[in-house]
Structure 1
């Protein structure tokens, strides 16, 4: 490996630019894999060309932060508006259990960063915090599927994508650890030459490593058109698409689509879509402070009575009886 990458280590760009300064805000229960995938890419770039990037970590306070894997990290410093003048990129690191709640102080820091021209990024559900600050209006973004309806509810002019990562101008967002890696790699590609990116890829060997995106076992027998329809459903829970629309998007007839669902998933498209929406509704009731009305709207139900009827039929009890797990 050393010999293979020696050419990158010995290369000197024609013009050495200024160091790009990156900051990572570690929220409670942040995704450690997403954070390390992003940071590893930056560290590897510095291995090949020293001092290209600087990085430091921030917390909301002065204390330690617990990751989703239970590992404790002490950030370099607490996040304040004054730190924004020293950054080129600020990455909000969220996770599956990161609570969707933003203090006024955090929102002000994010807005200050945007005003000062700092690029903003979000990992896992980090995009929600950018949306909550009003900083994703008119942008495309990626967010973990569990949190798409919640983001769509508080940032209605944001185009929430089902892609693993999105770079839209000065906003970078990723929905998974693999997406975080590819997001940062693509970002570096826009800043430096192709040789550097190839060097990072060679060292991390992402085609054979933990960075490779592995298809879920349950999707191995699902055809490409059906996978695309499921992605469309998952990305459009708040305003469900009609079956004819879904069929048209993948170049199939309504009858063909119904047959694909029946043969490959053992259910109907309508039932599958309802299960996606009702399952997301339960997650929102359990893990957020959204009201029942906000939840039913976020998941595409037309009325409280319809929502309650569907919920009761699926889970065996009314949504008002759902246990709230948020502290």
Structure 2
């Protein structure tokens, strides 16, 4: 019996599938490189060109990645073919990189029915263009809070990648590899996808059922089941914080036992740890959305803006208003 990828590719031998990589300003190099290298290696393993690609962007000349390196583009945002696959490559400050020109071009091309994907934070650009309405999607975990607040018509998941119809999104980093391996397997068979994974020294291929963040025990460096349960409950109830007594009761402990558990393993009280989680979300919302400070406070469980400002200043040594202002200044430089 011939290899699976050999039989699957016979129908596609005449014309390579073309990917159009759109580099947004300050895109993440790892996400882009992971995707394009997967295609290059697929061509090599198939011993013919099953994929083509071009790299474009606004202005058509050069664009910087988040590491500062400049990339020469093949061209501007132009007319695409109906069989092209668009891959938007996002990174830091994706809101600033999502310009009116990018959005109008993306909406126009998407009307042709072609596939559109967003790597790393580019799900934001897709959502702004209306391409993810009533779709499932994912985005880098650091941007999840702000995305969920801004795009309530999108079903946000914590998966490493999501394919919903002709829309694709990834969580960033090496998750581009997982998405590309799925596309390679769908188009040319799992044998070829496995060969590509081997070449990438990628020994654990993830699916859309895998989540992007480490488990709580791995993240905090502590394998205590009840502590992990409490932290998960905290992370899922930021807007309406749960009292330590209720948290303790939910895992079959007394409040005093819970207090000792946090002191022993995390060197802080449950209340302090919970506060840090809420303030971390608040900082993400301040820097990644245009939500008012009052709405940010409410979204993070603070009933009083003055109490929010006091807690924020104690933790970050600046006020929420100054944080928002200094971030806006950095974006305009």
- TM class by smaller structure: 0.7 to 0.9
Instruction: Provide closer, same or farther for how the CA distance between residues 121 and 221 of structure 1 changes in structure 2, counting only shifts above 3 A.
Output: same
The residue aligned with 1:157 is 153
Counterpart of 1:40 (choices 33, 37, 40) is 37
Mapped to 2, the partners of 1:203 and 1:27 lie a distance apart of 28
Instruction: Provide closer, same or farther for how the CA distance between residues 201 and 286 of structure 1 changes in structure 2, counting only shifts above 3 A.
Output: closer
The residue aligned with 2:315 is 314
Question: Which one is further off, 37-46 or 139-148?
Answer: 139-148
Counterpart of 1:66 (choices 59, 64, 67) is 64
The residue aligned with 2:27 is 30
Contact 1:89–1:120, Cα closer than 8 Å, also in 2: yes
Once the two structures are superposed, residues 31-58 of structure 1 have per-residue CA deviations (whole angstroms, 9 ceiling, x without a partner) of 1011101111111111122222221111
Mapped to 2, the partners of 1:224 and 1:75 lie a distance apart of 50
The residue aligned with 2:49 is 51
Q: Could you tell me the TM-score, scaled by structure 1's length?
A: 0.79
CA RMSD for the aligned pairs?
Answer: 3.6
Mapped to 2, the partners of 1:22 and 1:233 lie a distance apart of 41
Contact 2:94–2:125, Cα closer than 8 Å, also in 1: no
Contact 1:145–1:235, Cα closer than 8 Å, also in 2: no
Contact 1:289–1:326, Cα closer than 8 Å, also in 2: no
Q: Residue 110 of structure 1: CA displacement? A: 2.2
Mapped to 2, the partners of 1:234 and 1:268 lie a distance apart of 16
Q: How does 1:99-114 map to 2 (within 5 A)?
A: 99-100=95-96, 102-114=98-110
Partner SS, residue 96 of structure 1: coil
Mapped to 2, the partners of 1:308 and 1:230 lie a distance apart of 24
Q: How does 1:65-214 map to 2 (within 5 A)?
A: 65-80=63-78, 82-83=79-80, 85-100=81-96, 102-207=98-203
Q: Could you tell me the TM-score, scaled by structure 2's length?
A: 0.77
Mapped to 2, the partners of 1:166 and 1:228 lie a distance apart of 27
Unaligned 5+ runs, structure 1: 1-6
Contact 2:286–2:296, Cα closer than 8 Å, also in 1: yes
Mapped to 2, the partners of 1:231 and 1:66 lie a distance apart of 37
Q: How does 1:13-24 map to 2 (within 5 A)?
A: 13=8, 15-17=10-12, 18-24=15-21
Q: Does 1:326 align with 2:310?
A: no
Contact 1:100–1:128, Cα closer than 8 Å, also in 2: no
Partner SS, residue 174 of structure 2: helix
Contact 1:161–1:235, Cα closer than 8 Å, also in 2: no
Once the two structures are superposed, residues 191-212 of structure 1 have per-residue CA deviations (whole angstroms, 9 ceiling, x without a partner) of 331211111122112129xxxx
Q: Residue 127 of structure 1: CA displacement? A: 0.8
Q: Residue 28 of structure 1: CA displacement? A: 1.1
Contact 1:9–1:47, Cα closer than 8 Å, also in 2: no
Instruction: Provide closer, same or farther for how the CA distance between residues 156 and 13 of structure 1 changes in structure 2, counting only shifts above 3 A.
Output: closer
Contact 1:96–1:124, Cα closer than 8 Å, also in 2: no
Q: Report how many residues are paired.
A: 311
Instruction: Provide closer, same or farther for how the CA distance between residues 313 and 45 of structure 1 changes in structure 2, counting only shifts above 3 A.
Output: same
